[in-house]
């Protein structure tokens, strides 16, 4: 695969695993996230198998996203695959108790950040009539669960935005895929619980969750389809996860 792949949120979890999988196929990698040390460690591991460019970028900051994309060296400008992976959940409180600041951070990252990177990269893809945007949505964008509130809302946005991108790109050879993982053990829950490792571990205890490699395989598979094939959506759950019954609140009668 002689493609140039840009992965956001490459410093851990799915993004880091995608970097390893794409590197194995010989793709050139542009990796970004906020934690420079993590990116450097990853680049150090990958550099023997492929060319790697790292950049510290906070996707919430549109001017730094634009700067980063506009100032890419000439031989890195033609991005073939964008993996819009940077994102997070914060909190699992019911909406009436949830932190508005957490809601804003999720919206700024999962929605606005994804928009900024897409808007910066897409014109080049359209001009070259070639490219693939792979968004990382979530099952939380399709199925509601207690405490999912704003996080699920942001991933519903990713789902519909992905479809609308396809509508805009009709007639162009630019593909769009939304990958919707279920329960997956990464740093996701540590972030969700603001660094409470025990609480995060408890989410996966006595389960066999997805791991980052499971999702990276789906991402790479979608990217490796022949150019006339667009994988619209991939929804992936661990076998131990399924839907429950809809909740019904019972009110005991007074007589």
Known catalytic residues are: 151
Q: Which is nearer to ligand 8X3, 204 or 221 (CB)?
A: 204
Of 95-114, binders to ligand NDP (CB under 6 A) are 109, 113
Tokens of 84: 């819009």
Handedness of CA 57, 62, 64, 69 (dihedral sign): positive
The residue nearest ligand NDP at its CB is: 13
- Number of Cβ within a 10 Å radius of residue 87: 27
Residue 84 interacting with ligand 8X3 (CB under 6 A):
no
Contacts of 130 (CB under 8 A, 6+ apart): 80, 173, 174
Shortest CA distance to 39 belongs to which of 51, 52, 26, 50?
52
Tokens of 132: 């693939």
183, 212, 220, 222: residue in contact with ligand 8X3 (rule CB under 6 A): 183
- Give the span between the Cα atoms of 178 and 146, in whole angstroms: 23
Find out whether 203 and 187 touch, Cβ atoms under 8 Å: no
- List the Cα angle 143/230/234 in 5-degree steps: 25
* Residue 89 C-beta: closest distance to ligand 8X3, Å: 6
Q: Which stretch binds ligand NDP (CB under 6 A): 66-74, 79-87, 116-124, 216-224?
A: 79-87
Count of residues interacting with ligand NDP (CB under 6 A): 32
Tokens of 36: 């420079």
Of 110-149, binders to ligand 8X3 (CB under 6 A) are 138-140, 148
| Interaction partner, residue 135 (ligand NDP, ligand 8X3, none; CB < 5-8 Å by kind) | none
Site of interaction with ligand NDP (CB under 6 A): 8-15, 33-35, 38, 57-60, 85-89, 109, 113, 136, 138, 181, 183-184, 186-188, 191
Site of interaction with ligand 8X3 (CB under 6 A): 138-140, 148, 182-183
């Amino acid at each position: 695969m002689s493609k140039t792949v840009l992965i956001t949120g490459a410093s851990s979890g799915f993004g880091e695993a995608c970097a390893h999988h794409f590197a194995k196929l010989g793709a050139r990698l542009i990796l970004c996230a906020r934690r420079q040390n993590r990116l450097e460690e990853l680049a150090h591991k990958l550099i023997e198998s492929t060319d790697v460019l790292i950049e510290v970028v906070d996707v919430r900051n549109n001017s730094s996203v634009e700067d980063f994309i506009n100032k890419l060296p000439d031989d890195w400008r033609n991005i073939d695959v964008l993996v819009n992976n940077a994102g997070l959940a914060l909190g699992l409180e019911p909406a009436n108790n949830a932190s508005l600041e957490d809601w804003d951070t999720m919206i700024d990252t999962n929605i606005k950040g994804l928009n900024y990177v897409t808007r910066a990269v897409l014109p080049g893809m359209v001009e070259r009539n070639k490219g693939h945007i792979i968004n990382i949505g979530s099952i939380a964008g399709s199925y509601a669960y207690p405490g999912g509130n704003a996080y699920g809302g942001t991933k519903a946005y990713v789902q519909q935005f992905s479809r609308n991108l396809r509508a805009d790109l009709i007639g162009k050879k630019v593909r769009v895929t939304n990958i919707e993982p279920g329960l997956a053990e990464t740093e996701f829950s540590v972030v969700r619980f603001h660094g409470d490792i025990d609480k995060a571990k408890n989410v996966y205890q006595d389960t066999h969750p997805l791991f980052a490699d499971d999702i990276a395989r789906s991402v790479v598979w979608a990217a490796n389809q022949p150019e006339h094939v667009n994988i619209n959506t991939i929804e992936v759950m661990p076998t131990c996860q399924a839907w429950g019954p809809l909740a019904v609140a019972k009110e005991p009668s007074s007589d």
